[in-house]
Structure 1
Amino acid sequence: MKFRPALVLLLALTVPCVFAQSAADLGAGATGRKAATWPLAPTAEEALAAQLSARFLTRFHYDAQPLDDAMSARIYTAYLKLLDGEKVFFTDADLAKFAPLKTQLDDAIWNQNLSAPFSIFNVYVQRAVERMTYARELLKKGFDFSLDENYTFDREHADWPKDQAALDNLWRERTKNDWLRLKLAGKDDAEIRKTLDKRYALYIERIKQLDSEDAFQSFMTAYAETTDPHTDYLGPRVAENFDIAMKLSLEGIGAQLQSRDDNTMIVKLIPGGPAMKSHKFKPGDRILAVGQGASGPLVDVVGWRIDDVTALIRGKKGTVVRLEVLPADVGLDGKHELVTLVRDKINLEDAAASKKVIEIKDGDVTRKIGVIDLPSFYSDFGARSEGDKDYRSTTRDVAKLIGELKQEGVQGIVVDLRNNGGGSLAEANAMTGLFIDKGPVVQVRDARGEVQQQGDDDAGMAWSGPLAVLVNRGSASASEIFTAAIQDYHRGLVVGEPTFGKGTVQNLVDLDRFVQGDSEKPQLGELKMTIQEFFRIDGGSTQLKGVTPDIEFPKNGDEKDFGESTYPNALKWTQIPPADYKPVANLAAYLPQLEHLHDARVAKSPSWKLMLDELAQYRIMRDKTSISLNLAAREAERKQQDKLQSEFRARHKAIDGTDALLADEDSVLDDGLNANERSLKSELKQEADAKKAKDVQLNETAHILFDAVGLIKADSALAEQVLPYGGKYSNSYLAAITLAKPPVVPAAGH
Structure 2
Amino acid sequence: MNAKRLLLSFFILSFLVADAWSSVREVPLDELESTREQRQSTLIILRVIEKYHYKKHHLDDAMSGAILDRYLEALDPNKFFFSKKDIQSFEVYRNYLDDALKSARLDPAFKIFKVFRQRVDERIAHALKLLDQEFDFSADETYRFDRSEMEWVVDAAALEEIWRKKTKSEVLSLRLKDKPEDEIKKTLKERYLGLQRRTRQLGSNDVYQSFINAYTLSLEPHTAFMSPRVAENFDISMRLSLEGIGAVLRNESEYTVVQRTVAGGPAALGGEVHAGDKILGVGQDRDGEIVDVIGWRLQDVVDLIRGSKGSIVRLRLLPEKEGSGGRSSVTTLVRNKIKLEDQAAKKSIVEGLNGMGPVRIGVIDLPAFYRDFRGMSEGEKDFRSTTRDVRKLTGELMDEGIDGLILDLRQNGGGSLVEATELTGLFIPSGPVVQVKNANGELDVEQDPDPALVYGGPLAVLVDRNSASASEIFAGAIQDYRRGIIIGEPTFGKGTVQTLVDLDRFVRKGGDKLGRLRLTMAQFFRVKGGSTQFRGVVPDILYPSVDSSKKHGERGLENALPWAQIKPTAFEIQGLGSLQKYRGQHQKRIENDPGFRYLKDQALLLNEVRERTTVSLVSKTRKTEWKVREERRKAQRNRFLVAIGKKPLSDEDEDKRSDSDQKDDPVAKIALNEAARILSDYIGDKIRSAMVQQ
Q: 1:712: which partner in 2?
A: 686
**Counterpart contact for 1:150–1:628, Cα < 8 Å:** yes
Deviation at residue 567 of structure 1 after TM alignment:
4.2
1:8-31: per-residue Cα shift (whole Å, max 9, x none)? x99954616999xxxxxx9xx99x
Deviation at residue 326 of structure 1 after TM alignment:
9.4
Which of 121, 136, 153 matches 2:145? 153
Deviation at residue 107 of structure 1 after TM alignment:
4.4
1:496-518: per-residue Cα shift (whole Å, max 9, x none)? 11223344333332223333455
TM-score relative to the length of structure 1: 0.71
1:529 and 2:519 matched: yes
Which of 407, 427, 432 matches 1:435? 427
> Amino acid of the residue matched to residue 572 of structure 2?
K
Q: 1:79: which partner in 2?
A: 71
Look up the SS of the partner of 2:462 in the other structure.
strand
Q: 1:511: which partner in 2?
A: 503
After the TM superposition, which residues 573-592 of structure 1 pair with which residues of structure 2 at under 5 Å, given as runs? Answer: 573-588=563-578, 591-592=579-580
Deviation at residue 201 of structure 1 after TM alignment:
4.0
Quick one: structure 1 residues 402 and 88, their matched pair in 2 at CA, closer, same or farther if it must change by over 3 Å? farther
**Counterpart contact for 1:444–1:451, Cα < 8 Å:** yes
Look up the SS of the partner of 1:361 in the other structure.
coil
Q: 1:95: which partner in 2?
A: 87
Quick one: structure 1 residues 689 and 100, their matched pair in 2 at CA, closer, same or farther if it must change by over 3 Å? closer
Q: 1:500: which partner in 2?
A: 492
1:71-111: per-residue Cα shift (whole Å, max 9, x none)? 32221112222222222221122223322333443344444
Deviation at residue 167 of structure 1 after TM alignment:
0.6
Quick one: structure 1 residues 639 and 688, their matched pair in 2 at CA, closer, same or farther if it must change by over 3 Å? closer
Q: 2:274: which partner in 1?
A: none
Q: 1:233: which partner in 2?
A: 225
Q: 1:698: which partner in 2?
A: 672
1:421-453: per-residue Cα shift (whole Å, max 9, x none)? 444444332322222121112223334444443
> Amino acid of the residue matched to residue 436 of structure 2?
V
Deviation at residue 55 of structure 1 after TM alignment:
0.6
Which of 54, 67, 72 matches 1:62? 54
Deviation at residue 382 of structure 1 after TM alignment:
7.7
Look up the SS of the partner of 2:351 in the other structure.
strand
Q: How many Å separate the matches in 1 of 2:539 and 2:673?
A: 17
| Larger deviation, residues 637-646 vs 101-110 | 101-110
Q: 1:628: which partner in 2?
A: 616
Q: How many Å separate the matches in 2 of 1:240 and 1:353?
A: 29
Look up the SS of the partner of 1:444 in the other structure.
strand
Q: How many Å separate the matches in 2 of 1:638 and 1:253?
A: 35
**Counterpart contact for 2:350–2:363, Cα < 8 Å:** no
| Larger deviation, residues 109-118 vs 221-230 | 109-118
Q: 2:345: which partner in 1?
A: 354
Q: How many Å separate the matches in 2 of 1:686 and 1:127?
A: 43
Q: 2:328: which partner in 1?
A: none
**Counterpart contact for 1:14–1:214, Cα < 8 Å:** no
Look up the SS of the partner of 1:15 in the other structure.
helix
Q: 1:639: which partner in 2?
A: 627
Deviation at residue 487 of structure 1 after TM alignment:
0.6
1:136 and 2:136 matched: no
Deviation at residue 405 of structure 1 after TM alignment:
4.6
> Amino acid of the residue matched to residue 437 of structure 2?
R
Q: How many Å separate the matches in 1 of 2:636 and 2:393?
A: 36
**Counterpart contact for 1:649–1:660, Cα < 8 Å:** no
Deviation at residue 371 of structure 1 after TM alignment:
3.6
Quick one: structure 1 residues 308 and 91, their matched pair in 2 at CA, closer, same or farther if it must change by over 3 Å? closer
> Amino acid of the residue matched to residue 352 of structure 2?
K
Q: 1:598: which partner in 2?
A: 586
> Amino acid of the residue matched to residue 361 of structure 1?
G
| Larger deviation, residues 152-161 vs 235-244 | 235-244
1:453-496: per-residue Cα shift (whole Å, max 9, x none)? 32214211333233222222333333322211111111111111
After the TM superposition, which residues 143-292 of structure 1 pair with which residues of structure 2 at under 5 Å, given as runs? Answer: 143-185=135-177, 187=179, 189-207=181-199, 210-236=202-228, 239=231, 250=240, 284-285=284-285
Look up the SS of the partner of 2:461 in the other structure.
strand
1:89-144: per-residue Cα shift (whole Å, max 9, x none)? 21122223322333443344444443332333343344335434433332221322
> Amino acid of the residue matched to residue 355 of structure 1?
K
Quick one: structure 1 residues 323 and 539, their matched pair in 2 at CA, closer, same or farther if it must change by over 3 Å? closer
**Counterpart contact for 1:209–1:305, Cα < 8 Å:** no
Deviation at residue 166 of structure 1 after TM alignment:
0.7
Q: 2:13: which partner in 1?
A: 15
Quick one: structure 1 residues 719 and 90, their matched pair in 2 at CA, closer, same or farther if it must change by over 3 Å? farther
RMSD: 4.7
- Aligned residue pairs total 624
> Amino acid of the residue matched to residue 621 of structure 1?
V
After the TM superposition, which residues 462-481 of structure 1 pair with which residues of structure 2 at under 5 Å, given as runs? Answer: 462-481=454-473
Q: How many Å separate the matches in 2 of 1:258 and 1:480?
A: 21
Q: How many Å separate the matches in 1 of 2:650 and 2:383?
A: 38
| Larger deviation, residues 530-539 vs 124-133 | 124-133
Q: 2:272: which partner in 1?
A: none
Which of 544, 551, 560 matches 1:570? 560
Q: How many Å separate the matches in 2 of 1:400 and 1:230?
A: 36
Look up the SS of the partner of 2:568 in the other structure.
coil
Q: How many Å separate the matches in 1 of 2:637 and 2:44?
A: 55
Q: How many Å separate the matches in 2 of 1:543 and 1:433?
A: 22
> Amino acid of the residue matched to residue 520 of structure 2?
T
**Counterpart contact for 1:15–1:217, Cα < 8 Å:** no
1:617-638: per-residue Cα shift (whole Å, max 9, x none)? 2222222233333344434433
Deviation at residue 356 of structure 1 after TM alignment:
3.6
Deviation at residue 583 of structure 1 after TM alignment:
1.3
1:559-608: per-residue Cα shift (whole Å, max 9, x none)? 242233344533344323322122113242xx344334433432343222
Quick one: structure 1 residues 492 and 377, their matched pair in 2 at CA, closer, same or farther if it must change by over 3 Å? same
Q: How many Å separate the matches in 1 of 2:556 and 2:245?
A: 37
Quick one: structure 1 residues 713 and 10, their matched pair in 2 at CA, closer, same or farther if it must change by over 3 Å? farther
Q: How many Å separate the matches in 2 of 1:116 and 1:637?
A: 46
TM-score relative to the length of structure 2: 0.76
Look up the SS of the partner of 1:227 in the other structure.
coil
Q: How many Å separate the matches in 2 of 1:177 and 1:312?
A: 26
Over the matched positions of the two proteins, sequence identity in percent amounts to 42
Q: 1:420: which partner in 2?
A: 412
Q: 1:483: which partner in 2?
A: 475
**Counterpart contact for 1:351–1:376, Cα < 8 Å:** no
**Counterpart contact for 2:285–2:313, Cα < 8 Å:** yes
1:542 and 2:532 matched: yes
Which of 598, 604, 620 matches 1:610? 598
1:49 and 2:41 matched: yes
5+ unaligned residues in a row in structure 2: which ranges? 1-6, 250-260, 267-282, 289-294, 315-335
| Larger deviation, residues 58-67 vs 194-203 | 194-203
Q: How many Å separate the matches in 2 of 1:512 and 1:258?
A: 29
> Amino acid of the residue matched to residue 42 of structure 2?
A
Quick one: structure 1 residues 163 and 391, their matched pair in 2 at CA, closer, same or farther if it must change by over 3 Å? farther
5+ unaligned residues in a row in structure 1: which ranges? 1-8, 20-25, 260-266, 273-282, 289-302, 315-321, 330-344, 662-681, 721-750
| Larger deviation, residues 684-693 vs 393-402 | 684-693
Q: How many Å separate the matches in 2 of 1:689 and 1:376?
A: 16
